[in-house]
């Protein structure tokens, strides 16, 4: 298999693993790690496509995505902390006051 295509395969695999983790786990921090994994899978895809096309747009996009992921983790951890303060747990099944 062409080496660049195999990078894309790995990106898809990582994205899928992240998605499966989101469906199966209930711990807010683990869920957040799954999302980060999906974002990094996309980064890998960007870099691989950048190599295929021979331009740098994709690699520049990766920097932006990394900065956004950092901002997301800052806010995400703050929100998880605030949930922990009110329900003393970070399991999403324990924070279940709102339901239909």
Partner 1 sequence: MNALVPFAPVLALSIGSLGYLVSGQFLERARLTSLFALSLIAAAAYLIVGLMPMAPTLPHGFIINDFSKFFAVLACLGAFVSIIGTASSLAEEKIGMLSEYYFLMLTSLCGALVMIFASDFLTLFIGIEVASLALYCLCGARVTKESSSEAALKYFLLGCVSSAFMLFGIALWYGVTGGLAIAPINTAGPLVILSFVLMMVGLAFKIGLAPFHLWVPDVYQGAPTSVTTYMSCVVKVAAFAALFKIALNAFLLPTEWAVGILWFLSVLAMTVGNLAALQQRSVKRMLAYSSVAQAGYMLIGLVVLGDTTSVLASSVFYLTGYCAMTIGAFTVLSVLGPDADSVDDLKGLVKRSPFLATSMTLFFLALAGLPPSMAGLMGKVYLFTGALSSEFYGLAIIAVLNSALACAYYFRVPAAMLFQAPPTSEPVKVSVLSTFALTFCAATVIGIGIYPEPLVELCEAVAAVAAR
Applying CB under 8 A, which residues contact partner 1? 8, 11, 15, 18, 22, 28, 31-32, 35, 38-39, 41-42, 45-46, 49-50, 52-53, 55, 57-58, 60-61, 64-65, 68, 71-72, 75-76, 78-80, 82-83, 85-87, 92, 95-100
CA dihedral (91, 95, 98, 100) positive or negative? positive
The token pair that represents 100 in the structure block? 């239909």
| Shortest distance (Å) from residue 76 CB to partner 1 | 6
CB-wise, 10 or 65, nearer to partner 1?
Answer: 65
CA angle 98, 16, 52 (to 5 degrees): 135
């Amino acid at each position: 298999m062409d080496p660049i295509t195999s990078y894309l395969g790995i990106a898809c695999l990582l994205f899928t693993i992240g998605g499966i983790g989101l469906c199966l786990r209930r711990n807010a921090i683990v869920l957040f790690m799954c999302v980060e994994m999906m974002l990094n899978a996309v980064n890998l895809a960007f870099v691989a496509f950048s190599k295929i096309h021979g331009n740098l747009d994709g690699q520049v996009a990766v920097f932006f995505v990394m900065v956004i992921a950092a901002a997301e983790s800052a806010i995400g951890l703050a929100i998880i902390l605030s949930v922990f303060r009110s329900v003393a747990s970070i399991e999403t099944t324990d924070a279940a006051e709102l339901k239909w």
